[in-house]
Structure 1
Amino acid sequence: MKPIAVNDIRKVLGGKIITGPVNWKVEDAIYYKRHDHTKRNSLLFASKGDEINWVAIDKKGPSLVITDKSSIELKDVLPNTTVMQVTSLVQSYWKFIDYYRNLFHIPVVTITGTCGKTTTKDMIKHMLSGMWNVHASLSSKNEPRRSFPYLMGIDEHTKAAVFEHGLGNSGNIKHQCMIYQPTIGIIMNIGVHHLDGCGNLEGYIKAKGEIIEGIKDGGTLILNADDQNSKKLKIYGFRGKIIYFGPDEKADFRASRIAYGDGGMDFILHTNDKEYNAFVPGYGEHQVSNALAAFAAVHEMGVDLKIAIQRLRTYQNMGRHLEFSKGKNGCTVIDDTWTNNPTSVEAALRVIDSIGKGKKVILILGDINRLGNFEKKYHREIGSLVAERNIHTLITIGKKAEEIARQAMRDGSTANIRIFDKVEKIGNRLDHLFDDESLVLIKGPMSSRGMIEFAKSLKR
């Protein structure tokens, strides 16, 4: 955070200092009870209903407590704590956010989508980090409550920021955009996920579209030209620049001659009537799509594409993202347990289609959560996708995933199908399936420690 004098904050918020020193600067800001108070020189927004631990706050002093409590026992406030009283804490909170965000005239990129958010965010950060000081959200820790601390991570040395939007319910992205005020917004794709928080697919599409209204006036919206659900977004009111990416001939950032290479994907990047040879680490056409979105974003920030392409070659994929390892009895394990939704399952199956020819393909699929009333429908659709393929063995883990197996059977799958309700019941019962001809894809919910540990046990 860029240090700000207590008196400057008082002027911005129109608050009243009722006790404590003012001749110091705030170097961190949190919402009391929502975020951990671990730093000195912190600002803490404390609401009327909060029971304040003055001793703990003072130990991390100097501290500035901003509150709309009508009465405060001044005898409880210790010498290292300053208290500022405001009329409305909520209004003061948003006023402070708007003030702080607009201290910085830098590109701020925010990314949403069913799949590819974290990877694209990290690609953009990697491309930029060779030249600039870049601030970004951590891993896929994208919950709305983290947005305020992430914003406070921008300081006077930051040249660009890249954040990932979390979507658990309608309104989440709108809330985050009010904090980040992005200059560039990216929608990677819109598949099926979080239907329990959005009602149905239409509600989910609308929730993803909240980013469109959240982009600063004159900003840039980057969209997937080939994604069918993205075409349903209401973009006619957007006041800014729209850039499309994808294999589509009309896309502004397009890929052609996509091919599996050594450890990743080779392709030709087309943009502005120019062609570039490019490579992205990691397998799958979805990885090329992630790279195209990243190229579009950094180019919009003024980065030379030749530099961005060279930087991307050294990008390292996150673990458990279609991560290849040698496993039991010499098999090849593809660990894709980072996330699990119908879109990511289909992407993983397409990778198997390309690299699994001549191999003994074994699928291990776990439950897909947060599908609401559409749970059985989408698990069954995956079962049908499996039945279309030449799969040696299908193993499902979990009550929900059982629908995948049942539907694959109904559709006449020739696979050897095994059903387990819990991962703990498997033990070594499948070891005989694995040999040096086996290609084993394992997908499960990132919240399942059991699936993650099982994936580890499959690796040598």
Structure 2
Amino acid sequence: MMFLGEAAKALNGQLAGRDCLFSAVTTDSRTIAGGELFIALRGPHFDGHHFLPEIIGKGASGAVVEPGVEADLPLIEVTDTLAGLGELAAYWRKRFSIPIVAVTGSNGKTTVKEMVGAILGKAGPGLVAYGNLNNHIGLPLSLLRLRKGDTYAVVEMGMNHSGEIAHLALLAKPTVAVINNAAPAHLEGLGSVADVARAKAEIIEGLDSDGTVVINADDHFFGLWQEASGERRVISFGANPKADVYWEWDQSSRLRLHTPLGEDAFCFPLPGDHNAINAAAAAAAAITTGATLDSVVAGLKNSRFVTGRLERKRGVHGCEIWDDTYNANPDSLAAALQVISKREGEKILVLGDMRELGSASNQHHQEAGKAAKRAGVSRLYTLGTTSGEAAQAFGQGACHFSDIDELIEALRKSLSRSAVVLVKGSRGMKMERVVRAIDNAQGGD
């Protein structure tokens, strides 16, 4: 990858010890296999400096540390190791003159990222960020995985406060920035959906003047993002036929995409209008990098469920589970309800608290209960605190629980082969525990 001396120079740090080559960068001592550079981060519940003896035993090439640390391996001393991680990633990224697509939005970031990767992968090798590595630690680690021979990179950027995406965008310096949407999410840290939209627009700050901004023509904040783009090229997507890339379902329930390269209809494996929107976003982003229409269609036809994002499974007694447990906000819940509303069978919603909704939290949960009723849900099981508002608004057929084991017991007793169960909640609620308890593949029986 590079020599420690070069890394020290990039970080304005001091190298103590032998200059040698390292093959990769990690912040997790458990992943050391030999030859890596370990960056010792400090967190609220851990200190990477405590793991230096472990990485020495595993054969690490060196470590980036803060002042006052001694260890029997080469050390690069910097003032702040977290800042150093970002600086090293930005330095490394500059070596690559390839399309770099960065995706942000309240919903669908990871799905769009995976779709773009599937499309661009038809033409050559490249980097697609693992999972949801989208913050001030995950994004730099993703960039540091770039290697010679990569022809593209796709990353995502998340946030829960203003200024965070601007920082990430300046590290990644994308050539294409995708803003998928803005929804009620992280309101505690931002205040309003308009503030969320402005925070998402920060991704544009990382683009050079010849960069491309890909934005949702159906979103209320399209105009804001268009204005923030300035003189940069803007490509729009959505259901609106005026968009540069727009989608529709044809009479055979195939997804038809209309693009500047032409149109095509195909069997699309992911359910729901929200995934059609994600597909249009991915198509628009990929086309800006030079992808062909054939590659777009081939990539999207091979789209797969992302773990915990409306992932369909078979549960106990043959019931159908829709695992949407990765996270939750009002808009993503609405999208999931739209999907199960079209399924045959008794519809059951298991909903954990939707967090970070600020002063409007009770109202959003009440609306969630009403939306579930409109979607044809016959039974609602809620877990947590504010989700009780959803149960109350839902009325007859709703049960609220503060204990997850009691909820699981009640749910399991009510399941039948005809049941369609949607499980959803904010990340901190860990609603995947419910899925594991009723999923045949995970021993739910």
Question: Considering the TM-score relative to the shorter chain, is it more than 0.5?
Answer: yes
The one-letter code sitting in structure 2 at the alignment partner of 1:295 is: A
- Answer yes or no: is 1:289 the counterpart of 2:277: yes
Tell me the residue number matched to 1:455.
435
Q: Distance in 2 between matches of 1:122 and 1:284?
A: 17
The DSSP-based 3-state class of the residue aligned with 2:410 is coil
**Residue 304 of structure 1: which of 292, 304, 320 is its match?**
292
Q: Distance in 1 between matches of 2:84 and 2:157?
A: 24
Tell me the residue number matched to 1:4.
2
**Is the CA contact 1:133–1:158 (under 8 Å) kept in the aligned structure 2?**
yes
The one-letter code sitting in structure 1 at the alignment partner of 2:278 is: N
**Is the CA contact 2:316–2:439 (under 8 Å) kept in the aligned structure 1?**
yes
Q: Distance in 2 between matches of 1:100 and 1:161?
A: 13
What are the superposed Cα offsets for residues 192-222 of structure 1, whole Å, 9 maximum, x if unpaired?
A: 1111222333322222111111223311111
Tell me the residue number matched to 2:207.
215
Tell me the residue number matched to 1:360.
346
Deviates more, 1:147-156 or 1:380-389: 380-389
The DSSP-based 3-state class of the residue aligned with 2:377 is coil
The one-letter code sitting in structure 1 at the alignment partner of 2:198 is: K
The one-letter code sitting in structure 1 at the alignment partner of 2:436 is: K
What are the superposed Cα offsets for residues 239-271 of structure 1, whole Å, 9 maximum, x if unpaired?
A: 42111111112100111235685xxxx221111
Cα drift, residue 405 of structure 1 = 1.7
Equivalent pairs counted in the alignment come to: 436
Deviates more, 1:313-322 or 1:173-182: 313-322
CA separation of 1:77/1:422 partners in 2, compared to 1, >3 Å: closer, same or farther? closer
Tell me the residue number matched to 2:308.
320
The DSSP-based 3-state class of the residue aligned with 1:375 is helix
Tell me the residue number matched to 1:406.
392
- Answer yes or no: is 1:25 the counterpart of 2:6: no
**Residue 347 of structure 1: which of 335, 354, 360 is its match?**
335
The one-letter code sitting in structure 1 at the alignment partner of 2:24 is: D
**Is the CA contact 2:105–2:180 (under 8 Å) kept in the aligned structure 1?**
yes
Tell me the residue number matched to 1:131.
123
**Is the CA contact 1:189–1:224 (under 8 Å) kept in the aligned structure 2?**
yes
Tell me the residue number matched to 1:38.
32
Q: Which TM-score applies when normalising by structure 1?
A: 0.83
RMSD after superposition: 3.3
Percent identical: 27
The DSSP-based 3-state class of the residue aligned with 1:379 is helix
**Is the CA contact 1:280–1:291 (under 8 Å) kept in the aligned structure 2?**
no
The one-letter code sitting in structure 2 at the alignment partner of 1:392 is: S
- Answer yes or no: is 1:153 the counterpart of 2:139: no
Tell me the residue number matched to 2:358.
372
CA separation of 1:351/1:260 partners in 2, compared to 1, >3 Å: closer, same or farther? farther
**Residue 144 of structure 1: which of 136, 149, 153 is its match?**
136
Deviates more, 1:273-282 or 1:292-301: 273-282
**Is the CA contact 1:260–1:283 (under 8 Å) kept in the aligned structure 2?**
no
Cα drift, residue 26 of structure 1 = 3.4
Q: Distance in 1 between matches of 2:367 and 2:139?
A: 35
The DSSP-based 3-state class of the residue aligned with 1:392 is strand
**Is the CA contact 2:104–2:156 (under 8 Å) kept in the aligned structure 1?**
yes
CA separation of 1:14/1:387 partners in 2, compared to 1, >3 Å: closer, same or farther? closer
**Residue 187 of structure 1: which of 179, 187, 211 is its match?**
179
CA separation of 1:47/1:335 partners in 2, compared to 1, >3 Å: closer, same or farther? closer
Q: Distance in 1 between matches of 2:404 and 2:5?
A: 58
Q: Distance in 2 between matches of 1:231 and 1:197?
A: 23
Q: Distance in 2 between matches of 1:66 and 1:430?
A: 50
**Is the CA contact 2:286–2:296 (under 8 Å) kept in the aligned structure 1?**
yes
The one-letter code sitting in structure 2 at the alignment partner of 1:334 is: W
**Is the CA contact 2:41–2:81 (under 8 Å) kept in the aligned structure 1?**
yes
Cα drift, residue 346 of structure 1 = 0.5
* Unaligned 5+ runs, structure 2: 441-445
Deviates more, 1:43-52 or 1:128-137: 43-52
- Answer yes or no: is 1:99 the counterpart of 2:96: no
Cα drift, residue 429 of structure 1 = 3.0
Q: Distance in 1 between matches of 2:53 and 2:382?
A: 53
Cα drift, residue 87 of structure 1 = 8.8
Cα drift, residue 191 of structure 1 = 0.7
Tell me the residue number matched to 2:443.
none
Tell me the residue number matched to 1:412.
none
**Is the CA contact 1:376–1:400 (under 8 Å) kept in the aligned structure 2?**
yes
